[in-house]
Amino acid sequence: MAPDPLAPRISYTGDAVDIGGLADNPYAVASAWIDAAVARAAERGDVPEPTAMAVATVDAVGLPDVRTVLMRFLTPEGPGFVTNLDSAKGRQLAANPGVAATLTWPAMFRAIRFRGRAVELPDELVRDYFVTRPWGSRISAWASEQSAPIASRSALEARSSELAARWPDTGSPDDVPVPTRWGGYRIVPEEVEFWAGRPDRLHDRIVYARVAEGSLADAAAWAISRRQP
């Protein structure tokens, strides 16, 4: 049989992951892996958007829905992202807070998977983040009724221009107000998996599973095990 050009065979040469060499809590490991991805993006340029995270939710009829967002926070409570609360993901999480998310770095043959539930971020944290966004991104947060249909690209751009005229760029972080339905979520994990691609598809999968209440940094809250690839 001829090789399938859509499925080239690549040998995964990720670094080995040994349970004995890992921290006793998933927060320390996740922080180190994310820092390594950010550093590689700066040094080698082959890890674009190192904090890009695929987030999966479930819709009203039980079908999964996934999209890519940027992880804007990582604290011992969990990773977080911002969004329009009236977006598809916002409506789905309001009905069912079950959520899964993955950070994937193909050039490093690494990934982190989170599974758990989403909780809304407090308003003050959302505002503190919003004022750090570039002016144009703050305008876009108002211009887009995220996930809703729109007639054309030009209609979206016209809306953006109208809002830019209403709230011109003064160089102040307060020149654009926080949109009424702008918010965010923190994922409170029940499970965190660290995946490393290895030769012959014998990948390393190290999983921290919740066994008690506590943050990602609380070793007593987690049991660590290896899973088959």
Residue 178: φ, ψ to 5°: -70, 130
Whether the Cβ atoms of residue 126 and residue 178 lie closer than 8 Å to each other? yes
Nearest-angstrom CA–CA distance, 97 and 75: 19
DSSP-assigned letters across all residues of 85-149: TTSHHHHHHHH--EEEEEEEEGGGTEEEEEEEEEEEPPHHHHHHHHTTS-HHHHHHHHH--TTS-
Residue 9: φ, ψ to 5°: -85, 120
Exactly one of 198, 201, 205, 210 is catalytic; name it: 201
**Residue 141: HSE in the Cβ half-sphere, 13 Å Cα cutoff:** 26
- Annotated active-site residue 201? The verdict is yes
Nearest-angstrom CA–CA distance, 125 and 105: 28
Active-site residue numbers?
201
